[in-house]
Every structure is written in C-alpha cells, then in structure tokens.
Amino acid sequence: MSAPSTGTAEARLGLRGDRGPVLGALMLSTALVALDVTILATASTTVARELGAFEQVPWLFSAYTLAQAVTVPLYGRLADVFGRKRVMMVGIALFLLGSVLCAVAWSMPALIWFRVLQGLGAGAILPMSLTIAGDIYSLAERAKIQGYLASVWAASSVLGPTLGGVFSQFVSWRWIFWVNVPIAVVAAVVLWSRFHEKEREGEREPIDYLGAALLTGGSTALVLGLLEGGHAWAWASLESVGIFAAAAVLLAAFAVTARRNAHPIFDLGLLRRRAVGASTAAGLGVGVITLGLTTYVPIYAQGVLGVGPLVAGFSLAALMVGWPLAATVAGRIYLAIGFRWTAVIGSVIVLFGALLTLGLGPGSPVWHISAAVFVIGIGMGLVAVPTLVAAQHSVEWNERGAVTATNMFSRSIGQAVGVAALGAVVNAMTTVGADGTPDGPGLATAVHVVFWCVVGTAALMFGTVLLLPRDNPRTAPAAP
C-alpha cells in the first residue's frame, strides 16, 4: 500500500487561511448531536406528561440511536465518492428538519418518527466532522483538533441536562429542539461558504445500492434486537429470535455482495489492514465502556450513594472532562512514541480507572466515583484519538471517509451491545420497589457486576490495541 500523501489538505482543499472558521462550524455541528444526547433526557418526563404514552419514552432514544448507527457506513462511502461537503450539508439539513418537526410534534408516535429523522442527520454529522478535520489538518495537528471536538461533548454533558431542565420547567420542552435551529443554520452557512473541495477528476465509482440496502437492513435488525431485547420482548421470545435471524441473513447476503462488487458500500477488505481492524475492535470497547458508565454511574450515585440528580450528573461529567484533556495532548505523545504505544498506555489507564470502581461501596464518598471515571476519561482520550488517527493515516483520501465511518459504527454497535448486556445484568439482579425504582442493596450488587464488566472490557481493549502496527507516525504507515 502506498503511503498517503502528506499534502492532502493543501492539494485538495487549499483553505489553510479558512481552517479556523471551518473548525468552528465543525464544533457547532458536533454540538448539535452532543447536546441532543443529553438535553432530552432531563425533559423526557415532561414530554411524556404532555403527549402521553410514558411507556414509549425509551423509543425517543432508541429510534434516534438506531437511525444514527445504521446510516454511518453509508454516509462514509458516499463521502468518499461525492465529497465530504455534500454529505455534511445533507446531514445538517436532515437534523434541522427533524428538529423543527420534533418541536411541533402533536403526539408521541410523531415525535418518535421525527427523532428518526434527526438520527439520520446525526449519522452524517459525526463521521463527517471527524473526516473533514482529518482532511484539513496535518497529522501533528489532528489530535489537538480532535481534543477541541471532544471538548464539545464535555461541555454538552453539563450544559445539556441544565438546558433541558430549564426549558421543560420554565419555558417549554419544545425549546430543546428549537435551540438547534440557529446552531444548524450558522454551521451550514460557514461550511458552505468557507469549506471548499476540488471536484474529483475522472469517473466516479458506482454506488452499491443493493449492498447499502442489505447493510442498512441487517444493521437495523441487529441494533434493534440489541436495544430492545429484554425490554420490549424477552431474549428467548419468537420476536427476538426472528429479528436476530433476519439480521444474520441480511448481513450474510451483504458480505456475499461486498466480495463480488468492485466498489462495495463498505469494503470488508479494509478490516484486514492492521490499523483499521485494531481501530475498529478498540471502538467496540470504547462504546461498551462509555455507555455502560454513562447509564449506570448516575444510577449508582443516586440509588446507592444517596446523592441528588445534579451531583450524580456532575460525577459522570468527570468522564467527559478527562477525555478531551487527554485528547489535546495525545498528538504530542503519539508523534513521540507512536500510535500503538500511546493507545497501550491509554488502555492501561482505562483499566486502572475501572479497577478503582471495584472499591466503591454504599458508604463511599461521591468523589471516589468521580475520580475513577475521570481516570477512565483520561485513558479514553489516549485510546480513541490514536486509534482513529492511525486508521485515517493508513489509507488514502478516497478511503478515509469509509474508515472514519467504520470506527464510528463500531462504537455505536459497542454501545448497543453494552446497553443490552449490562441492562440484562442489572434487571436480573434487582427488584423494583413501590416507588418504581430499584432497591438499594440489590442495585449496589448489580452495578458492582457492571463495574466488573467494564474491567473485563478494558482488559480486552488492551489486547486489541496491541494489534496496532509498530509504525512511526512521522513517516509512512506500515503496510497492512
């Protein structure tokens, strides 16, 4: 494999003077998705009270996550064929339209369907933000820039729940969607006017629409089965078996068509490259750990340690503070010692932080859990950044969108697997009291098992990053 051109950003884009405004627009675009993840959670009870159908509230999140996850690989391939700008514009437009429709939703089913539209937009926004950053910034700059993008998530983890509470209590829950409108408009205008791509020369590769349909259908069935198994239906039920069987058939059919197609929507051969395969495997671990902690740290802080919702939220925010702090320095580290050893150090730190959670008990101070997740966040920044950049650095421009999308997709699958597996553990070990919440002693034991699962996942992630090639980021990447 030939080394990627070191002048990719200069040669293709020629916008060194405009990179600041473009980065600002990418951060605003990321904020759309990051805020949406946290802002609705605070207002979901108020939404259900006004629209009814409280039992359908989980679908507000599942439908969005599902639509986002299954479209990421498709957007990645489309970006490599038609360019990043067009796909990003489509993503922002879909997210903007979905937000406006959510703001005027007249029923819970309507709101759920409009959340699907938002998810379709988010599926383009996240991978395109990272891909564009990879295009316009050099290898030495890329980790610092990704630290800026990660800081958006850190700010949103605090700002989102606060805005959700303020809007739902003092104004209207509908404003949690209206607030997306000016952010989306500004981001779109700046990207449209400042981000310029040269038109690709020569004939464009055909789009594998059959493969796209099979991959989207199979991924939808798989993620839906993982998200709803044990909740909407029992794991051993006919519905569960049927949906997983459908996923297996569709994904197998996709694998067959991908091997026969010269330009598949998702090139499975990319996974045979050590940097891409190891990055994808590490992304699964990142997804499991992130969603596992995001879901159960606040529950443990409130139900076992006895703190209020605000303090519980801030205890989790420590994770999203440590992550961007480490991401901003990861570039200097991997330029000095390489992608592989940076990720190895990060995974060891994640494992150490996970082990700290095992010392938690009903009498533990809340700072103990905050410190543990802060350490895990530091490690995550040193794993997520070098593995993604290593994968991007190992391919040419016309494959970078697909590789970035593959990494994002693996994280989404990891999140779906994590929420399904860990949720099954907690549900099996707890009983619900008269107030509708799990009892303290059973919850403490169940979440302690969750922490053990995080430890195990961190150990597996350590093994996957060892598979990264021993390359020098200052030179050409190792051959796959």
- The answer to whether residue 442 sits within a structural domain is yes
- The answer to whether residue 202 sits within a structural domain is no
Report d(CA 38, CA 164) in Å as an integer: 8
Question: Residue 401: pLDDT above 80?
Answer: no
Residue that wins the pLDDT comparison between 231 and 217: 217
Question: Residue 14: pLDDT above 80?
Answer: no
The residue written with tokens 């190792």 in the block is 478
Q: Are residues 257 and 377 in the same domain?
A: no
Q: Are residues 257 and 277 in the same domain?
A: no
Q: What's the mean pLDDT in 247-269?
A: 84
Q: Which of 375, 390, 391 is nearest to 326 (CA)?
A: 375
Question: Residue 15: pLDDT above 60?
Answer: no
Q: Which of 135-139, 184-188, 458-462 has the lowest mean pLDDT?
A: 135-139
Give the pLDDT of residue 16: 45
- The answer to whether residue 201 sits within a structural domain is no
User: How many helices (H) does the chain have, and how many strands (E)?
Assistant: 16, 0
Q: Which of 430, 425, 426, 451 is nearest to 442 (CA)?
A: 430
- The overall average pLDDT reported for the chain is 81
Q: What's the mean pLDDT in 283-299?
A: 84
Report d(CA 333, CA 256) in Å as an integer: 41
Confidence of residue 439 (pLDDT cuts 50, 70, 90): low
261 phi and psi, to 5 degrees? Answer: -90, 135
Report d(CA 85, CA 46) in Å as an integer: 37
Q: Which of 390, 385, 388, 382 is nearest to 326 (CA)?
A: 382
Q: Are residues 474 and 426 in the same domain?
A: yes
Residue spans of alpha helices (H) in 5-138? 8-12, 19-51, 57-82, 84-103, 108-136
Confidence of residue 480 (pLDDT cuts 50, 70, 90): very low
Give the pLDDT of residue 157: 67
Range ranked top by mean pLDDT from 82-91, 281-290, 343-352, 429-438? 343-352
- The answer to whether residue 148 sits within a structural domain is yes
Confidence of residue 5 (pLDDT cuts 50, 70, 90): very low
Task: Give the torsion sign (CA, 150, 137, 81, 279).
Answer: negative
Q: Are residues 40 and 130 in the same domain?
A: yes
Q: How far is CA 94 from CA 80, 110, 114, 115, 122, in A?
A: 20, 16, 10, 10, 8
Confidence of residue 378 (pLDDT cuts 50, 70, 90): very high
Q: Are residues 111 and 229 in the same domain?
A: no
Residue that wins the pLDDT comparison between 307 and 9: 307
Here the CATH number for the domain that contains residue 315 is 1.20.1250.20
- The answer to whether residue 292 sits within a structural domain is yes
Give the pLDDT of residue 4: 44
Summarize pLDDT for 312-336 with one digit per residue, the tens: 767 777 887 888 888 888 888 888 8
Q: Are residues 338 and 365 in the same domain?
A: yes
Q: Are residues 186 and 212 in the same domain?
A: no
Report d(CA 90, CA 261) in Å as an integer: 26
Give the pLDDT of residue 11: 43
- The answer to whether residue 130 sits within a structural domain is yes
Report d(CA 357, CA 366) in Å as an integer: 11
Give the pLDDT of residue 309: 64
Q: Are residues 29 and 95 in the same domain?
A: yes
Give the pLDDT of residue 45: 65
Q: What's the mean pLDDT in 148-170?
A: 75
* Domain-terminating residue out of 165, 196, 227: 196
Question: Residue 101: pLDDT above 80?
Answer: yes
Q: Which of 434, 460, 430 is nearest to 447 (CA)?
A: 430
Give the pLDDT of residue 474: 56
- The answer to whether residue 439 sits within a structural domain is yes
Q: Are residues 277 and 260 in the same domain?
A: no
Render the burial of 284-306: b for 16+ CB within 10 Å, e for the rest.
bbbbbbbbbbbbbbbbbbbbbbe
- The answer to whether residue 39 sits within a structural domain is yes
* Domain-terminating residue out of 175, 196, 217: 196
Q: Are residues 136 and 247 in the same domain?
A: no
Confidence of residue 18 (pLDDT cuts 50, 70, 90): confident
Q: Which of 124-133, 285-294, 416-425 has the lowest mean pLDDT?
A: 416-425
Report d(CA 438, CA 427) in Å as an integer: 9
Q: Are residues 258 and 284 in the same domain?
A: no
Q: Identify the domain containing residue 402 by its residue range.
A: 270-480
Percentage of the chain lying above the pLDDT 70 cut: 85
Summarize pLDDT for 61-70 with one digit per residue, the tens: 777 877 888 8
Give the pLDDT of residue 440: 55
Q: Are residues 328 and 368 in the same domain?
A: yes
**Structural domain count of the chain:** 3
Q: What's the mean pLDDT in 398-406?
A: 78
Question: Residue 91: pLDDT above 80?
Answer: yes
Query: CB of 388 within 8 A of CB of 472?
Result: no
Q: Which two tokens stand for residue 418?
A: 């994590």
Confidence of residue 477 (pLDDT cuts 50, 70, 90): very low
Residue that wins the pLDDT comparison between 90 and 428: 90
CA dihedral angle for residue 103, residue 105, residue 107, residue 110, rounded to 10 degrees: -120
